[in-house]
Amino acid sequence: MERRDFLSNMGITLAIACTAGLAACGGKGDDPAPNPPGGGGGGGGGADKLTVNLATQVPNVGDYIISGGVVLIRLAAGNVPASFSAVTSTCTHMGCTLSGYNGGLIECLSACGHGSKYNPDGTVSNGPTTTALTKYTVTISGTTLTVK
């Protein structure tokens, strides 16, 4: 009987401790969640990833910007969407941020990179990666270029 009472009391004590612990964790867990990278989370759909002023940025063929999770490259003259390529700046090999655009290829040569290279349209030129980069849509209004 004493042993049964002891075990019963332990069960109640553990239940109270677990409930208190979960409540504490739940409170902390709710706070960091509202800002997922990339603003995914459903709802709006199609948030802008990058906005560029073409009057001052990427004026020459071969110019590029890596910002906002995007590699934006000017491939031709003229402020029309076909003159640009926009792809994700996250390497598909192991997730490093791509380092630059050189010799017509997007490179993964940052400190954590392993040398993969991609064509401007995001397809793989050189491994170790075997997966193309995600390509984004470019729109232009006046001198404002937007990547979605």
What does each C-alpha distance from 100 to 46, 60, 106, 119 come to in angstroms?
25, 16, 6, 12
User: Whose CA is closest to 66, among 48, 93, 94, 88?
Assistant: 88
Angle at 90 between CA 123 and CA 63, to 5 degrees: 70
Residue 42 parent element (H or E):
none
CB 128 to ligand FES: min, Å: 6
CB 143 to ligand FES: min, Å: 33
Tell me which of 91, 133, 145, 147 binds ligand FES, using CB under 6 A: 91
Number of residues in contact with ligand FES, rule: CB under 6 A? 11
Whether 103 and 112 have beta carbons less than 8 Å apart is answered as: no
The contact mask relative to ligand FES for 93-132 (x = CB under 6 A, - = no) is: xx-x-----------x----xxxx-----------xx---
CB 107 to ligand FES: min, Å: 9
Q: Is 69 in the site for ligand FES (CB under 6 A)?
A: no
